Structure 1
């Protein structure tokens, strides 16, 4: 039987690291107002200490964000806007129609519920539609209440809160002595991961964020958003067609750029020996047990075990059921780390 293949070329997702001060302010507001998890954030102690210097108007706005979970709306709006500044965010917010306003803010539930979500966006005052859509999120930590809060306030009121909290949070954060380093680290993070390979999205997402990701139906864009405020957590959000990973930048990014990462120092120590390099070479050919290596190198198991322990500590080898094997992905990542350090000032 003859067959004609008229299918178009297979599409790949869009994959990119995206950063801006607006993303950092939004994530910071989300972390600050996350009552259940806030004590686990690296910034919690400082936030608690500095709360006394916070303007009363900002305190009130943050309490409103916590009460309504509208921090989630900030993230959804910024996903659509991609604003580089609070001023641009405000302009984009003012320019969109009411339908788009609510379409951007209403969270995704499922493909089966998309028609109901779109209907709610088109009829913001129709409680007969909004109620059932909110009910779909019952049991979720905050989304059911968030949807009801969107419905119970006017667009003007919501917009005022969004712009107010972003503006005042930015003003407060810009007074911090470390904020220039933070913003520089975010810019560098975006720069170093330009040109990600969407054909190998799973591997690239794991390389950048450390998170496992399995492709999802209807997701055509994946954004990797570096942050500092939400450290050490990785936050994930999905919309109808976009998956967002908010991942913490490494601690080294926040240090003096002239100071080499400890991982780089330890890795070079592990590689700075002829015997250990030879062991890596042999493991590159095939996995081997300690007995195999001892025979091959005509060396005591104690001596080889020590050398292997140094390589294992540097994450260049792994052992499973007594068999050692090389971790090529870690060696490749180590080379990238060296290149990033040497080129950091460019």
Structure 2
């Protein structure tokens, strides 16, 4: 085959910006504590003490159960991208201002440009469109049920739920931590923006901020929004908006304990913790020989899948293992960087 390539070798990238607010911190904390498979992997266990110790109100417990059942944390995150006054009053005013179609439209996840007309019809309550859009979201396990819930739930009751869970969390879980959290988030953004000046490519900078996510430009995406969080550490949550990719990323240890040279890098500590287990070391050795399915790992290790899944979650949270369509792979470059990371920590 003969090709004359007149295309531009300098591929366009995306624009990177930061945003933060305590309402995003609320929404992500609510998401974290209601995620059954991940909540035991969270770094900041003490943050959730009011929930763990049962000192929150029965009303907030009920609202969190609704979040767990219908994944309405997703609606909170979606809605926060559509208004600027990120105060509790601003949130409540915005929610009350939306008519049912607007409410559903804002809460539905953006899948792709081709499906936008289907999204619009689903928001209006068209049953065929609802089913088509739900089916299109099957790549994420909870999305089909979430989409159907958003499109069929009673909107006044739904608004009451969202306001109640956000207000309850803000007042009962975050009330004593608000100022400290705000300082942490601002400090992290400032540190990251200073570091951004040393990067010539947006892709490399996003990989640095997200602890290793290699996000290459997409034709339909012009902007990347980076939103720091404390509650959901060590996880990075990735979401799509029209024309925009969003990364809710965990803040660095240095943002929590500024000026303390004894505090190690968050990912360094997390990685060694993940490797400090015989079963997980066996998994790493198996994956070093090549990608494996859960079934293959379970058969070789003679381990129940539920236990295996728990260990893999620990390795994934440390970015040592990744998964694609239920196939697990070892991040060898991350593994090789550990020795240098420890040396750098000890030397500085």
TM-score category of the 2 structures, normalised to the smaller one: 0.5 to 0.7
**Structure number, greater radius of gyration:** 1
CA gap 1:116/1:184 in 2 versus in 1, 3 angstroms: same
Indicate the residue corresponding to 1:268 in structure 2. Answer: none
Match of 2:205 in 1: 204
Aligned to 1:166: 166
- Runs of 5+ in structure 2 lacking a partner? 1-10, 266-337
Alignment of 1:114-153 (within 5 A): 114-121=116-123, 123=124, 125-138=125-138, 140-153=140-153
Structure 2 counterpart of 1:260: 261
Please give the alpha-carbon distance, in whole angstroms, between the structure 2 residues aligned to 1:90 and 1:53: 25
Give the distance between the partners of 1:138 and 1:205, measured in 2 at CA: 27
Query: CA 1:24 to 1:46, structure 2 compared with 1: closer, same or farther past 3 Å?
Result: closer
Task: Give 1:306's aligned residue.
Answer: none
CA distance in 2, matches of 1:137, 1:78: 21
Q: Give matches, 1:253-292, under 5 Å.
A: 253-255=255-257, 257-260=258-261, 262=263
Q: Is the 8 Å Cα contact of residues 252 and 261 (structure 1) preserved in structure 2?
A: no
Would the alpha carbon gap of residues 188 and 45 (structure 1) be closer, same or farther in structure 2, given more than 3 Å must change? Answer: closer
Aligned to 2:268: none
Q: Given that residues 17 and 193 in structure 1 are in contact (C-alpha distance below 8 angstroms), is that contact kept between their aligned partners in structure 2? A: no
Shift of 1:179: 4.5
Q: Comparing 79-88 with 15-24, which one deviates more in the overlay?
A: 79-88
Instruction: Give the whole-Å Cα distance in 2 for the aligned partners of 1:237 and 1:152.
Output: 23
Deviations 1:127-172 (A, max 9, x none): 2221221122235321001011112212222211111111000001
Structure 1 unpaired stretches of 5+: 1-9, 265-308, 317-333, 335-346
* Structure 1 position 252, deviation (Å): 2.7
Any idea what the Cα deviations from partners look like across 1:162-206, whole Å, max 9, x if unmatched? Answer: 111110000012344x55322210121223344857972102212
Distance between the aligned counterparts of 1:245 and 1:33, measured in 2? 20
Q: 1:200 to 1:154 in 2, by over 3 A?
A: same
Kept in 2: contact 1:12–1:199 (CA 8 A):
no
> TM-score scaled by structure 1?
0.67
Q: 2:343 aligns with which of 300, 309, 314?
A: 314
CA contact (8 A) 1:16 1:194 kept: no
Pairwise CA RMSD of aligned residues? 3.2
Matches for 1:1-150 after TM superposition, within 5 Å: 13-44=14-45, 47=48, 50-121=52-123, 123=124, 125-138=125-138, 140-150=140-150
Task: Count how many residue pairs are aligned between Structure 1 and Structure 2.
Answer: 264
Distance 1:260 1:202, change over 3 A: same
Deviates more, 1:16-25 or 1:82-91: 82-91
In the TM superposition, residue 34 of structure 1 has moved relative to its aligned partner by: 0.7
Matched residue, 1:237: 239
> What's the offset of the Cα at 1:82?
4.2
